[in-house]
A and B are shown apart, each in its own frame.
Chain A
Amino acid sequence: MRFSHLHELGALCVEESTTIGRLMIKEQVQETNTPEEEIFRQMSDYYEVMKEAVHRGQTQDTVSRSGLTGGDGKRLAEYLRAGETCSGDASALAMAYALSVSEVNASMGRIVATPTAGSCGVIPGVFISAQERFGWDDEHMVRGLFAAGAIGYVIANNSFISGAEGGCQAEIGSAIGMAAGAMVELRGGTPEQAIHAVGLALKNTLGLICDPVAGLVEIPCIVRNGLGAVTALAAADMALAGVRSAIPSDEVIDVMLEVGSAMPSKHRETAKGGLAQTPTGKRLTESLTRNIPAKKDKS
């Protein structure tokens, strides 16, 4: 890839009068020596999987393997259909879809890691609800996924994308940053605006710990996907309105690395802190452990 930072990505787009999504396709062709059609088809297949996951979560029961979660995506969509929402219909729908995809994930259904499975709801939530609302075709959406991928590529290589490494700021934060930037581009914003959206979004997730109850990608991960989709939409709106990230987005990514590295291990997906160690978190963990005993060897 010819870029490793967002400012380089932005400069390349300006130089070549192109979008982040189109540039990323070109870079991927060059990097992997694979024809553009094949790369585009691969991403289109992923988008289909995302749509299926939304559909499944909205139409079928998605009780997780542990039995702790399920059905909230449907609940939210019904609430949205029934009347006035607090956060606005677009936000509520993005949230409902994001919850659905995360619930399908928790039930061992098929999803796409974007960038991880724990954060797999944000991008489909934002993308598919926006597609329905604005009537975009699939090709437009797939190019948007490449834009999201370019942003994620920079975050992943300069900071982290997994909760185990950098806390939930890394996992859900990356997904939100990717969705925010891509949404700006889908709406016709400039690469510069898209990059500002990334910084604006990431600033709001800095410090977010990863504290899954019983170590499972369910509580609080599913709701964080839903709320993350709304944050992404809001950050995209700010950027499209001309709000700039006063701290350049690349520097925000560096801060994520700094904060995540300083985070105690109990707050990095170990289930030894945060919500996992609340009285209820401990009780739920205990009840699951009783149901599923694990063998312990002597080594």
Chain B
Amino acid sequence: MRFKDVFSIIGPAMTGPSSSHTAGAVRLARVARHWLGVQPDRARMTLYGSFADTYKGHGTDLALIAGLLNYDTDDYRIPDAEQCAEQAGMEVEFAVSGLPAPHPNTVRFELWKGEDQRTLLGSSIGGGSIHVQQLNEFRVNLTGELPTLVLLHSDKPGTLGAVTSALGAAHINIAYMHVDRKGRDGEALTAIETDSPAPAELITELRALPHMYEIKMINLKKGAESDAV
């Protein structure tokens, strides 16, 4: 089922005008921010397809900036996001691309915080629902509907076993899981969508596992803040 519950049909509460171009854009950008873990110093967003054609009129640019500021889809500050970003010291830049994209409403983020640079490729698939396809060029398949743990680790046997055991012991149920690696024995990324958010202690425990580089928490629930984790 593409749409999983009643609130994917009625909702979200949002700032107009387009659930694909505005609400979906806010949510994609929020995922990107949570993936970076903090507010970026600088962001470059490349728009594809219909996003590229109509982003100005739909306020997609404002929505994307708002998401990077961690605003929710119905935040009344969205129309003023440009000024808010300026006040927050976040530099933003937009580009449009004529290249084919996986979906008509697609955006690629490049985010910088100091030395740390991240990318995300995602699409807004309608009604405010999103599909994140890539995190730092790793393939994923995320909706942002559920709290999501993103783990960067080395491709070593037993790593995922240790992670899932720890989740199980903490009674965190795994709903969906996606694994991709750059190459055998190389860097790997695992994204785990869970029915309830993993508590901070559990994340600390996971971080201490051998072969684990870093863990980020993506949680789009109203008011949820990634930066503390």
Interface residues of A (CB under 8 A from B): 1, 4, 24, 27-28, 31-33, 39, 42-43, 45-46, 49, 64-66, 104-118, 120, 123, 145-146, 148-150, 152-153, 156-157, 160-162, 164-165, 178, 214-218, 269-271, 288, 292, 294-297, 299
Min CB distance B83 to A, Å, is: 14
B19 contacts A153, C-beta separation under 8 Å:
no
A156 contacts B59, C-beta separation under 8 Å:
no
B17 contacts A105, C-beta separation under 8 Å:
yes
B96 contacts A295, C-beta separation under 8 Å:
yes
Q: Given the complex of chains A and B, what is the CA–CA distance between A114 and B74 in angstroms?
A: 14
A162 contacts B126, C-beta separation under 8 Å:
yes
A117 contacts B14, C-beta separation under 8 Å:
yes
Min CB distance A137 to B, Å, is: 19
Interface residues of B (CB under 8 A from A): 1-23, 46, 50, 52-59, 62, 74, 76, 78-79, 94-99, 104-105, 125-128, 195
Q: 12 more A-B contacts (CB under 8 A) besides A164-B50, A216-B54, A218-B17? A: A106-B17, A108-B78, A109-B16, A113-B23, A114-B10, A116-B128, A117-B18, A156-B3, A161-B3, A217-B58, A294-B52, A296-B98
A42 contacts B76, C-beta separation under 8 Å:
no
B10 contacts A145, C-beta separation under 8 Å:
yes
Q: Given the complex of chains A and B, what is the CA–CA distance between A49 and B23 in angstroms?
A: 15
Which residue of A27, A42, A104, A117 contacts B7 across the interface (Cβ within 8 Å)? A42
A27: chain B residues at CB < 8 Å are 6
Q: Given the complex of chains A and B, what is the CA–CA distance between A123 and B127 in angstroms?
A: 15
Min CB distance A227 to B, Å, is: 19
Least CB separation from A151: chain B residue: B9
Q: Is the interface of B mostly helix, strand, loop or mixed?
A: mixed
B12: chain A residues at CB < 8 Å are 112-113
Q: Given the complex of chains A and B, what is the CA–CA distance between A39 and B2 in angstroms?
A: 20
A164 contacts B127, C-beta separation under 8 Å:
no
A299 contacts B3, C-beta separation under 8 Å:
no
Q: Given the complex of chains A and B, what is the CA–CA distance between A1 and B1 in angstroms?
A: 10
Q: Which 8 A/B pairs are nearest by Cβ-Cβ distance?
A: A162-B126, A105-B16, A215-B54, A152-B9, A149-B6, A117-B19, A297-B95, A113-B19
Given contacts A66-B57, A116-B127, A107 and B16 within 8 Å (CB-CB): yes
Given contacts A49-B74, A217-B16, A294-B56, A113 and B6 within 8 Å (CB-CB): no
Q: Given the complex of chains A and B, what is the CA–CA distance between A157 and B127 in angstroms?
A: 13
B62: chain A residues at CB < 8 Å are 108
Q: Given the complex of chains A and B, what is the CA–CA distance between A156 and B59 in angstroms?
A: 25
Least CB separation from A52: chain B residue: B13
A111 contacts B97, C-beta separation under 8 Å:
no
Least CB separation from A146: chain B residue: B6
Q: Given the complex of chains A and B, what is the CA–CA distance between A39 and B7 in angstroms?
A: 9
A111 contacts B6, C-beta separation under 8 Å:
no
B9 contacts A156, C-beta separation under 8 Å:
yes
B6: chain A residues at CB < 8 Å are 24, 27-28, 39, 43, 146, 149-150, 153
Given contacts A49-B74, A156-B2, A295-B96, A115 and B16 within 8 Å (CB-CB): no
Q: Given the complex of chains A and B, what is the CA–CA distance between A33 and B78 in angstroms?
A: 31
